[in-house]
């Protein structure tokens, strides 16, 4: 976004400069004022600078050639070396073994 802002502001400054240049070509024309040409040049330059910035950002996009989805969140974050079991202080093995299936025959569902 910083690059886009740079192109937009640069286009505005360039457009203002072109507005001054247009005014210098015919400074005695009563229907053309310095303020109006600079304002029109700034608006046109800002719009063209923003469009050019979007064009440059589109060309800078890198699409990965590999389209495999990550298996877990650590792989998505790039932390593949964190493949270790959960610490035993968080979940003890006794709690895992004590889990039992409760069978309730309500409409054929088991909980």
3-state secondary structure the chain: CHHHHHHHHHHHHHHHHHHHHHHHHCCCCCCCCHHHHHHHHHHHHHHHHHHHHHHHHHHCCCCCCCCCCCCCHHHHCCCCCCCCCCCCCCCCHHHHHCCCCCCCCECCECC
Percent over 90 (pLDDT), the chain? 21
0.75 exceeded by pTM: no
Instruction: List the beta bridge partners of residue 106.
Output: 109
* pLDDT exceeds 50 at position 109: yes
* pLDDT exceeds 80 at position 98: no
Q: pLDDT-derived band of residue 89, with 50, 70 and 90 as boundaries? A: very low
Mean pLDDT, rounded, for 98-105:
59
Phi, psi of 109 (to 5 degrees): -95, 145
Kindly report the average pLDDT of the chain as a whole number. Answer: 75
More confident residue, 29 or 66: 29
- Lowest-confidence pick of 5-14, 51-60, 61-70, 79-88: 79-88
């Amino acid at each position: 976004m910083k690059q886009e802002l740079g192109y937009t502001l640069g286009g505005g400054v360039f457009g203002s400069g072109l507005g001054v240049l247009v005014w210098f070509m015919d400074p005695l024309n009563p229907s053309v004022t310095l303020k109006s040409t600079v304002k029109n040049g700034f608006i046109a330059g800002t719009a063209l600078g923003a469009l050019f910035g979007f064009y440059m950002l589109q060309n800078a996009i890198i699409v990965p050639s590999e389209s495999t989805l990550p298996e877990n969140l650590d792989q998505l974050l790039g932390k593949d070396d964190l493949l270790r079991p959960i610490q035993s202080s968080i979940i003890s093995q006794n709690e895992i073994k004590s889990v039992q299936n409760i069978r309730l025959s309500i409409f054929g569902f088991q909980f």
